[in-house]
Amino acid sequence: MNSNKLKCDDKPPYVYDSSSNSTSEEFKYTGNKLSNCTLLISNVQFSHSAEYKFRFITNVTGGRWTGGPGVTLQVGALKLTGPPENETLKEGDSVNLTCAVNCSLSSPQFVWFKDNQRLPSSDPVLHSSALTVEDSGNYSCALKTDEAVRSEMVRIHFEGVCPSGLVTSLVIVVGIVVIIALIFLAVVYNRRKKEKAREERDGGSGRKTQVRPE
């Protein structure tokens, strides 16, 4: 951080102190003792949001100065919102997925991913209409400037609907099967009925009549 405005300041805390061995590993000084005062922050968290200033101390009495103004770091998070988890989507429905970041960025551009495959859209809202089963998957978004940091995934699952033509065909097939079954049962019933009548006739004609002499 380069600044021509300096002010005396004797109020820690420090995130990095070159004379201390207890500095957090998240903060590393990568500058020098001349004009480069770069601070590297690793594993950035929300708690790192703050204003950072560079301070140097000399061996002269009262020789402590802090650069101002500092650099403000605002850590944001990507949030992906979609349909409620308990909402059932079907083929032909439409859905909106919205990607937002909770920090002030001028005209942020986003990238979208489906099952880790990048999609062509760069808008904050991913609109899908006339959905099909192929649209099922895990969706996430990221800032175009840092695609490695992505939002949490949102699972989209669609229930397939049989086409009307297929439904009609199934109804016809079922109807034909039922008719064939009824015809078969009727034929079997009539055959058994005829066999039973024949047995009764044969049994009646085979009886002998006995006549007693008077």
Closest CA to 101 of 46, 180, 181, 158: 46
**7-16, 46-55, 101-110, 178-187: which has the minimum mean pLDDT?**
7-16
- Which pLDDT does position 116 carry in this prediction? 92
Does pLDDT of 42 surpass 50?
yes
- Which pLDDT does position 122 carry in this prediction? 86
Closest CA to 50 of 62, 41, 61: 41
According to DSSP, the β-strands at 158-159 and 89-90 are parallel
Q: Alpha helices of 149-163 — where are they, by DSSP H?
A: none
Q: What is the pTM of this model?
A: 0.51
Share of the chain above pLDDT 70, in %: 82
**What are residue 196's phi and psi, to 5 degrees?**
-65, -40
- Which pLDDT does position 161 carry in this prediction? 56
